A = this chain, B = another copy of it.
Amino acid sequence: MSELKFSDLVEPVSVDQKTALRVTVLGGGSFGTAMANTAARNGCDTMIWIRDEAAAAEINQTHVNKRYLADFTLESGLKAVTDLETAICNRDIILVAIPSHSFRHVLQQIKPFITSQAVVSLTKGIEAKTFSFMSDIIREELPEVPYGVLSGPNLAKEIMAGQPAGTVIASQSELVRYAVQQALHSALFRVFASDDVHGVELGGALKNIYAVAMGMAAAYKVGENTKSMILTRALAEMSRFAVKLGANPLTFLGLSGVGDLFATCSSPLSRNYQVGFALGSGKTLEQATTELGQTAEGINTIVQVRSRSEELDVYMPITSALYNVIFEGAPPLTIALSLMKNGHRSDVEFVLPHNEV
């Protein structure tokens, strides 16, 4: 191994503190903390809002987020706060890293303090009851704000360790894209821009479905040919679904699409992969969930997306097959069938669109 290290790539930061952006991250989980740390390192005036007072105090005293990123020392300029008004008023960018089930409630709480801040979601997922994406929730709760979504293959610990990584900021507003790039871009963290908000957030929201399928396939000891089929058929149905919602299929060629899918499907330790493996080994969902100690997010996503794809009349055979296996007792091999059936049209939906060869 060469003696040079990735961190040798880091350029010294020379930011004029007076013009530095004021950034707040809502939520003290691992990815929110990593982004707050990145902004602070870039010279931004950065706060992280955490509801729990003891956790906030600990970060301010020790510069360690012991619960989520115990092995890393945070930038000394990064401040944790618990008061929402302090966190929101007179800030430029609000990065929302709140789980999908609490996302709407937190936006409702910050609404009184919103003036001209940009609001950017860092959360991957779908609101369970409404099937809303995070960008939909922002538009509904804060209809006047400039907004965006950030998504990509971004394991927080790897970012903290200084491994080269990239992500995508998607917004209709060029100003939002530019501001987020200014706040987060560095020599080791590349922030690309897109105007395809739904395309970018759908990559992050749907990928967990296919991690379950990949885990199930692993229980059958499938080879590289079959894994590649799963990956590309997953891309086909994700992009079909996204295009129905107005997204650009080419977005799935990028980091937030195939990049995040690749990272997720290559992680045998993820809960989604493991629940798939257990199901592929003949266990029931109940047995698999008991073993894991909690529900894998991909399972909920399967239920939601299957129902929505039927409403929208989008053909999603892998998702449907997973549903049938998990909830209707079909054999796991149904997944393999879902890859193979239905004619031999173009494998990319949009290349030979009207040609049912």
Contact = CB atoms under 8 A, between A and B. Distances in A.
Interface of A: 1-2, 4, 6, 8-9, 152-155, 158-159, 161, 163-166, 168, 174, 177-178, 181, 185, 187-188, 190-196, 219-220, 222-229, 231-232, 235-236, 239, 248-256, 258-260, 262-263, 266-267, 280-282, 331-333, 336-337, 339-340, 344-348, 350-352, 355, 357
18 contacts: A1-B282, A2-B332, A2-B333, A9-B340, A159-B225, A163-B226, A164-B225, A177-B357, A190-B339, A192-B347, A193-B352, A194-B352, A195-B351, A224-B263, A229-B259, A232-B254, A248-B351, A250-B350
Nearest to A184: B344
A158 B225 contact: yes
Contact of A228 (B227, B232, B260): B260
Q: How many copies of this chain does one complex carry? A: 2
Contacts of A239: 253
A160 B340 CA distance: 17
Nearest to A261: B228
A357 B226 CA distance: 38
A192 B348 CA distance: 9
Given A8-B333, A195-B352, A231-B258, 11 more contacts: A9-B333, A158-B224, A159-B225, A164-B340, A177-B357, A193-B344, A194-B347, A231-B259, A249-B253, A250-B250, A253-B258
Given A193-B346, A282-B1, A228 B253 contact: no
B266 A344 contact: no
Given A164-B229, A248-B351, A336-B6, A344 B223 contact: no
Nearest to A224: B263
Given A1-B282, A9-B333, A228-B153, A192 B345 contact: yes
Nearest to A256: B347
A181 B357 contact: yes
A193 B357 contact: yes
A344 B178 CA distance: 10
A194 B346 contact: yes
A258 B263 CA distance: 14
A274 B232 CA distance: 25
B195 A333 contact: no
A232 B259 contact: yes
A309 to B, nearest CB: 19
Given A158-B226, A165-B225, A225-B165, A262 B262 contact: yes
Given A177-B357, A331-B2, A253 B235 contact: yes
Contacts of A188: 340
A255 B234 CA distance: 11
Contact of A255 (B185, B229, B350): B229
Given A224-B267, A340-B188, A258 B235 contact: yes
